[in-house]
Amino acid sequence: MKNNSWLQTNTFHYSQFWDLLKLIEEKERQELTLSLCIPTLNEEKTIGKEIVIFHSELMNRYPLLDEIAVIDSGSSDRTREIAANFGADVYLSSEILPEMGEKRGKGENLWKAIYQLKGDIIIYVDADIKNIHPRFVYGLAAPLIYHPEIQYVKAFYDRPLAMSSEIRPSGGGRVTEILIRPLFSLFFPELTEIIQPLSGEYAVRRGVLEQIPFPIGYGVETSHLIDVYRKWGIEAFGQTDLDQRVHRNQETRDLGKMAFGILQTFLSRVQALGIIKDLPELNKVLCQTIVQDKQHERVEYFIQEEERPPMIELEAYRKKIHLYS
């Protein structure tokens, strides 16, 4: 039987960290700074509540966070205005490192946050969470503060489906269980112990984030896990049970686009690592079929998982943090 020691020692529940005063005391003892990054694109319905809760509870009442930042991909709604009005620092992704050019994608925003934000630990939280709560931050940051050997903490949770009152059993979402977990089982069995590898909520030490490349699109979470695992081992990870996350659910067709992008990233990783050799050039067009007016139509989507280099390789970043090569 497999040894489950990592699963037992590195899996937490947010309620273990209820004493925020103790957590803040330890953070200050270590002289750590914490930054919250919320990547956005047209999230005016939920962003205000997130900022209000995090600002009031984790900056004013309990000074755990040193900054709250929204990195926006160019929203056409009032996302940036609302976030700024409620106290967040708001940045347009295209205006950060403009010499690197503009690319669209969540991974792009996460990558640029490393340059823009100042924290020793960066906590990433998605902007579409309807049941937002301070645990989405302190539950992820606490294992890094209390356990110096842990470098990267992922969230996991139950996720109610919009069409049902029942709760999804513990585990990942549809793309995780159909694509990621089978791939990890084949190539990286230890990573299958990470319950929700594609969760959008995680906290990471700057020293790790700056050393890994960032796909700009769907593959960013998958690549992170592989790269951190190969560089630091499974012991570098922790995961925290946040109980429940309520958010909008994507259509199956959209999940197909996500899976296509993730698969590109995965195959490029295993080829770069020499696990699979001599892959042919991969097609970047996803083909799907839809039915409209009782007619079947073929639709195509060009999806290319470009990557940004490790931030530490950028001279502008090294100068900003005073690390001259």
Tell me the pLDDT tens digit for each residue of 218-254.
999 999 999 999 999 999 999 999 998 875 666 778 8
pLDDT tens per residue, range 15-61: 999 999 999 999 999 999 999 999 999 999 999 999 999 999 999 99
Whole-number Å distance between alpha carbons of 174 and 169: 12
How far is residue 31's CA from residue 27's CA, in Å, rounded to a whole number?
Answer: 6
- How far is it, in rounded angstroms, from Cα 303 to Cα 283? 9
CATH topology of domain 10-320: Spore Coat Polysaccharide Biosynthesis Protein SpsA; Chain A (3.90.550)
Contact yes or no for 242/281 (Cβ under 8 A): no
Average pLDDT over residues 251-261: 87
User: Residue 181, CB half-sphere, CA atoms under 13 Å: how many?
Assistant: 13
Residue boundaries of the structural domains of the chain: 10-320
Q: What is the pLDDT of residues 104-150, one digit of tens each?
A: 889 999 999 999 999 999 999 999 998 999 999 999 999 999 999 99
Give the global pTM: 0.91
Residue-by-residue DSSP string for 136-177: HHHHHHHHHHH-TT--EEEEEEE---TT-SSPPPSS--HHII
Two tokens, residue 41: 């694109």
**What is the predicted pLDDT for the residue at 248?**
60
Q: Does 65 have pLDDT greater than 80?
A: yes
Closest CA to 176 of 195, 155, 201, 190: 195
